[in-house]
Amino acid sequence: MEARRQRDPAFSEVPAPPSVAASGPAFPCIVLDRVSLRFQSERRRVQALSDISLSIAEGEFVALLGPTGCGKSSLLRLVSDLLAPTAGTIAVRGEPAAAARRLNQFGFVFQEPALLSWRTTLGNVQLPLEVVGYPPEKRIARCEELLDSVGLLKFKDAYPHELSGGMKQRAAMVRALAWNPSILLMDEPFTALDELTRGQLQDDLLQLWNHERKTILFVTHNISEAIYLADRIVVMSPHPGRIKTVLRPDLPRPRTDDFHETQEFMKWTRMAREALRS
């Protein structure tokens, strides 16, 4: 956190050239190499993703920005081995994605909280720990600690239908972090929330990320959300899903609400919008 705050602001004003995987970071965590994905439906083929090359560094916060249908969600499912690419390779820490999945390196958060209605908050958060094989005696302590960090400890015995939308999504976030996976995959996690709650959850996420530095792949179609959160923004275009350009705002952290009014923020929002439109 300190290191980021002290980063030279003058330097960060110089936009890094929009570049793709070629200028790969020093410690790549996720590497996609010419990945394509085709869905074969009964009547026609759908090219969901075409020739995606991307390298994501350890601990980096990357946003995938693009309109609906550009295959950003499919990209998350490829990285986490829920889908297999029709061409190209995916490596997670030097291993195939399937190996990383077996090692429980992924924490998945969806647009909807997707909690189990018959389990309490605590029970929902504990679910992955039961599967992953986390030591039972540590489960509750770990979950309560995490719930406390997002202000949900009071609601640990509540059922999902008794929670607000924001609380449910917080619980889903905690569930994805419970066994301490190194990579967080977020599929438009805040889209279904109201503006105010979304802002709070964005800050919660940044705080969590500061606390336990994870590699985050964050899908969104919201420009300001991408700029507010990410180190790097991968702008995608649909039909077929391609990487259009990669923006590296490199703006100072920590970011607070005021950040939305800064010149920098405005400038990058404009750039991202133009990149999306072109």
Partner 1 sequence: MDAHGPRGVAIMSDAAPTIQNRLRDEILPPLIILALALGFWELSVKILDIPPWLLPAPSDVVDRFFKTTTLWYHTGLTVLEALAGFAVSAVLGVSLSAGIVHSRFLERGVFPYVIVSNAIPIIAIIPLLTIWFGFGIAPKIMICSIISFFPIVTNTTRGLKATDRRIIEFMRSINATRLEILLKVQLPSALPFIFASFKIAASLALVGAVVAEFYSSDRGLGYLIITSATQLRTDLLFVAIVVLAALGVSSFMLFGYLERVTTRGERSDETQ
Task: By CB under 8 A, name the binding residues for partner 1.
Answer: 77, 80-82, 101-102, 104, 106, 108, 110, 112, 114, 116-118, 127-128, 130-132, 159-162, 175-176, 179, 185
Bridge-based pairing state of the strands 28-40 and 106-109: unpaired
Q: State in angstroms the smallest separation of the CB of 45 from partner 1.
A: 22
Q: How far is the CB of 5 from partner 1 (least distance, A)?
A: 33
Least gap, CB of 103 to partner 1 (angstroms): 8
CB-wise, 116 or 266, nearer to partner 1?
116
Q: Which is nearer to partner 1, 106 or 155 (CB)?
A: 106
Shortest Å distance, C-beta 125 to partner 1: 12
Q: Which is nearer to partner 1, 106 or 209 (CB)?
A: 106
Q: Which is nearer to partner 1, 32 or 176 (CB)?
A: 176
Handedness of CA 167, 168, 172, 175 (dihedral sign): positive
Output the smallest distance, CB 224 to partner 1, in A.
Answer: 26
In the complex with partner 1, which residue's Cβ is closer, 185 or 275?
Answer: 185
